[in-house]
Structure 1
Amino acid sequence: MQDQTAAQLPLSALDDTNPTPLYLQLQQTIEEAVRKGNLKPDDALPGERDLAKQLGISRVTVRKAITGLVKRGVLVQRWGSGTFVAHQMRLEQPLSRLSSFTDDMSARGLSSSAVLLSRSIGPASPDELMALGLSPGDLVSRVNRLRLADGIPLAIEHAVVPSRFLPDPSAVKQSLYAVLHEQGCIPVRALQRLHAVLLSAEQAALLKVTPQSPALYIERRSFTNAGEVVEFTSSYYRGDAYDFVAELTLHQPERNLNDDE
């Protein structure tokens, strides 16, 4: 695989007499190969040692070039596997609309899927009691999943739902909201809190990015028409695949009619 990929790279593009630093030349070479389709998503790059030998440059230069491309989302490093061409997926996600991951991907013409990581039923933890407005001893159903679009892992979701709304967590195959709809407890509004985080090695492996990659952590509490909390979900979204968008309006103070007199 590596020999085939290396042969596709226009290695002769590097020029010692060019004032552009060699690591930038290598970045431009790889990006050009990606644009032309000579390197396709999930293609493996040669190892640092092989690239350095073929190009006649140092491994430090190769590492600097690859690190820059990983930060820009052109390449992705998979723990224990190597460096690969990343899927160039970038999604805009409105923060003002309440919808499920499945519906979001469907609206974009993408095929959504989920990998079950764990599911359970048990007494709510102190944090879950507070988030869901439950009493000590109340049971919750927990569903932890990896969410994918067109086979690309985009988010890790951990959903907690009072068991009276979701008595059987195994009923969640694809969309949690679809199951809640069937149970007659439709979320109609939600509160979200979000902040930037760095992914742990375990989280990065699931999302197929390097450890300590940037991500957005979002906590969401969803409510029914009756004001009951039906869902408490915490999610980690890949920072290289999502742009979260919010519409802002300027508050206009009410005018005093006396001001016009």
Structure 2
Amino acid sequence: MTDITRSQRLADVACRAAQLMREPLLAAFRSTIEVDYKRDLHDVVTQYDRQSEAAIREFILAEVPDSVVVGEEAGTSGTGRIRWYVDPIDGTSNFARGLAFWCVSVGAVIDDEIVAGAIYDPVANLLFRGDLSGAYLNGEKLRSRAIADEKQATLITGYPVGRDFRRDGRDAALANFADLVENFSTLRRPGSAALALAHIAAGWMDAAMGTGVSPWDVTAGILILRQAGGRYEPLGLGKAAKGTPDFLCPGYVATGAGANYPTLQRIARDIDAVVPA
């Protein structure tokens, strides 16, 4: 089996896994949903996150027994060479409150190389797929494109949040945010890193920056974006050693093809240079 053939087979599994819970999730969306909290009041989880992850985990381990599944909610299970990173609902706060910007993300890694990924938006019925042959949206080849000048571009970022205030200092973080607001045409905080990366890959958004992501948030999106011609730059943020695989780094800057955004690059470098206390 060639690397591309194996990659395509794993991408098929990722796509089926990502769509597995479409009907139950859509049935729950915009209903009354109880939430629990994990790290803080900004980090929510629902019963549907847990149920979705359990179903996806069981499906992957049955389809590809040579696998380790790492999920956001239930940790790690299985043994094997292929490592899967699963976010059963990326954008849980949006899902719980009825905002239609959330998705399911499934990415596969072999020997620290991302080889397959799927991001599924159930509300819009959009399936983003990446393998070593390219990136696709609902079966059609995907090519990233971005507005060249940041003054006319749209940036997605969740920065800053409370942990950024603690890390960078409140005044510095707010000054960074002000620079981004002033230098980009539009700034949005929609709340799903995976779907943000997919939208940049599709050419619907120009750039994104994140400073608190986990591998299940970005693994599939990194491959999809890069295979579509976009750029993903990891940020270690003083937490990841040099040489750490991109998908294991806690921060990133992502840009569409053709982007040239000096303000974003400067602020990302400044943030990355901060030494955590």
TM-score (norm 1): 0.29
Give the number of the structure whose residues are more often strand, by fraction.
Answer: 1
Between structure 1 and structure 2, the one with the greater Rg is 1
